[in-house]
Amino acid sequence: MKKKSLKFISLFILSLMSGSVLAGEKETIFNPLQTAVPSLSIAPDARGGSMGDVGAATTPDLNSQYWNPSKYAQMESRAGFAISYTPWLRKIVNDIDLVYLAGYYKLDDRQALSASFRYFSMGEINLTEAPGPTGEIVSNGTCNPYEFAIDLGYSRNLSEHWSAAVALRYIHSDLTNGIADDASVTAGNAVAADVAAYYRTPISLGTETEAHASFGLNISNIGSKISYDDGETQQFLPTNLKLGGAFEYPFDKFNTLTFAADINKLLIPTPPVADEGVSPTDPEYAKEWDDYYNTSVISGIFKSFGDAPGGMSEELDEIMWSAGLEYAYNKQFMVRAGYFYEAESKGNRKYWSFGAGFNLSIFQLSAAYLMSTAQTSPLDQTLRFSLGFDLAGLKGIMNNDKSETE
């Protein structure tokens, strides 16, 4: 039963990791980076998701905890929270989804606390065994695998334009959930941290209102490895380097256009690839895999910039990029679009995304729609939603209502 469970876990991780299967027209080796808890890499909110998964340097918002927590220190409002819902593989099943809750509170004009909770449900899985004596499949019940992560962040303004943040994260991943009857097959637990920085400055272009340029950096999921077999095998978390830039241009006091772009690189070692004709049981190839699994997290971060078997061309393929546009009218109505690119040999995720948003004094509502241009994405033709609340605005309305009744 242990081998059966570990096989299921491995296949599930690989299927979520890139959101794709072996495909591609180039004569290149399909060698995606392999991480555990791939749900940590799913863009959780509709604003970033509608701009091609961009968010390192966009204007601060309620869901900055995922993209760049240092943006919270530069929020104008005192406090707020948001909830987002993302269906997964909706064209196949209807019970796999991601729910994300994020919020912040500014201690003063210079610093803020933030937190988030991410829950990824993998739906209900019907377990079966081999055919019985009469040929029927024997049922072995059901299970409900899931993953969740809890974050707590602190951000601070370092100067008029610079802010920085750290975030701590606890991760729990239960992919067995009743599948295994072997005590050595366990749920995985890990801890990680994010380190982020954000720079935003006004630029005078002779218009009625100032334009703004911003830059963002977020190194996320720096932490322990995670194991599903009682420590026998340790797998990497999706440690990621995100760099981004954005330019916000106001045509006048009502109409604003923002262009933003991000690049991402997983900071984990590249899996070894066997040369043509080499057996998977070859001792030297087996040793390469032993070295891969025994690589420490910190060593893996540094190795990730120059260990690809295909040399520099493969290293460049490991860089994902995305770009997005956001048009805002009076900061109340937004239309967004974006594009995400990943090399064919590393997962082949390529898709356009579109969306819209409404901002009022109390709440914000955003929706996003994804359209894959390569092989099918788990989010292809799926709507995502985010609903946010400005607690300062809500408090102001409550105070006004109270004064009127008095």
Q: pTM of the prediction?
A: 0.86
Higher-confidence residue of 75 and 12: namely 75
Q: Does residue 12 have a pLDDT over 60?
A: no
pLDDT the model gives residue 400: 55
pLDDT the model gives residue 3: 42
List the one residue out of 102, 99, 96, 58 whose CA is nearest residue 79.
102
| Cβ–Cβ under 8 Å, residues 115 and 82 | no
What is the distance between the alpha carbons of residues 258 and 328, in angstroms, rounded to a whole number? 8
pLDDT the model gives residue 351: 95
For the ranges 14-23, 120-129, 372-381, the lowest mean pLDDT is seen at 14-23
The string of pLDDT tens digits covering residues 341-394 is: 999 989 889 999 999 999 987 889 999 999 998 876 788 888 999 999 998 766
Q: How would residue 20 be classed by pLDDT, with cut points 50, 70 and 90?
A: very low
The string of pLDDT tens digits covering residues 159-187 is: 999 999 999 999 999 987 756 555 567 88
The string of pLDDT tens digits covering residues 201-257 is: 999 887 677 899 999 999 999 999 999 888 888 999 999 999 999 999 998 889 999
The Cβ of residue 305 has, within 10 Å, a number of other Cβ atoms equal to: 12
| Cβ–Cβ under 8 Å, residues 132 and 159 | no
Q: Could you tell me the domains of the chain?
A: 2-131+138-405 (2.40.160.40)
Q: Does residue 135 have a pLDDT over 60?
A: no
The string of pLDDT tens digits covering residues 296-318 is: 999 999 999 999 888 899 999 99
Q: CA angle, 152 as apex, 147 and 154 as ends, to 5°?
A: 150
Contacts of 48 (CB under 8 A, 6+ apart): 54, 55, 58, 63, 66, 67
> Residue 389 — φ and ψ, nearest 5°?
-130, 130
